[in-house]
Amino acid sequence: MSMITRSKHACFGGIQGFYTHDSSSIGLPMRFSVYQPPQAANGPVPVVFFLAGLTCTEETFMVKAGAQRVAAELGLMLVTCDTSPRDIELPGDRENWDFGVGAGFYLDATTQPWATHYRMGSYVLELRDFILANFSASADRVGIMGHSMGGHGALTIGLKHPERFQSVSAFAPIAAPSECPWGEKAFSRYLGDDRSSWRAFDATALVEDGQRTSALLVDQGLEDQFLPNQLSPDRFESACRGAGQALTLRRQSGYDHGYYFISSFIADHLHHHAQLLR
């Protein structure tokens, strides 16, 4: 199988599609989805990857964020992937909603039994190349954004690969995962107990360690139920300030962690990417 089209839908003059392909980095079939704006019919367009949060799938953002209307206006392709491998069952992978299935944390695990298939860090790069090879997307105009666990993924992958992702943004990212319960649980199981190996998957540590990317946009709801214990935008902000990494961190009063928050500000994020990918 190179690619199976599961469904296709006309959407704001473009095409919303859901697909499955064989992933070499995961070693299993993976699902993804693509919104092709109307402009893609006339030639390559900029493309923005969205990495979703815990418990989500490749469908969640496309169904809930309301991004396609603005993407069609701006001529942006949108791509989402799943949040973990699914076509395999490993011991303990379904016992917790914040670890295992639906919680791949966009990293390559180094401990067994996870290391063989839980390679979501490499998978995001593989999917980027797959999209550039199979859809009408411009190789030098690629952005990445995400939410919560996916915000962590977008910031870390964006910071590590500025040549592959020219624009980066996040909604309520897990911004210092080495220091929060979600991150400690996932990293100790996927990466082991040596905390020095965690720094490569922690956006705050990456900025402290010298990684840089284009000007960042981050939105954080102030009524987010996970803000007090899991997200640490202040730590990320001070790391960026100390390191000279450009960051616009907007604290949005009244907004919680969910997709109503994302749908309220998705247009600003798409404009941010469109401007940098022009």
Ligand X SMILES: N[C@@H](CCC(=O)N[C@@H](CS)C(=O)NCC(=O)O)C(=O)O
Catalytic residue among 148, 167, 214, 232: 148
Q: How far is the CB of 202 from ligand X (least distance, A)?
A: 17
Per-position x/- string for 7-46, each x denoting binding to ligand X as judged by CB under 6 A, each - no binding: ----------------------------------------
Q: In the structure encoding, which two tokens stand for residue 252, read together?
A: 């949005």
Closest approach of Cβ 158 to ligand X, in Å?
Answer: 19
* DSSP assignments along 142-205, one per residue: EEEEEETHHHHHHHHHHHH-TTT-SEEEEES----GGGSHHHHHHHHHHH-S-GGGGGGG-HHH
Task: Between 105 and 198, name the residue whose CB sits nearer to ligand X.
Answer: 105
Distances from the Cα of 161 to the Cαs of 46, 125, 155, 157, 174, in angstroms? 17, 9, 10, 6, 19
Least distance from C-beta 149 to ligand X, angstroms?
6
Question: Is 148 labeled as catalytic in the residue annotation?
Answer: yes
3-state DSSP call for residue 60?
helix
State yes or no: residue 154 binds ligand X (CB under 6 A): no
Q: Which pair of tokens denotes residue 132?
A: 């550039």
Residue nearest to ligand X as judged by C-beta position: 53
Shortest Å distance, C-beta 60 to ligand X = 5
Q: Which of 33, 36, 57, 60 touches ligand X (CB under 6 A)?
A: 60
CB atoms closer than 10 angstroms to residue 103: 23
Whole-number Å distance between alpha carbons of 31 and 21: 7
Per-residue binding string, ligand X, 247-266, x by CB under 6 A, is ----------xxx-------
Kindly list the catalytic residues: 148, 224, 257
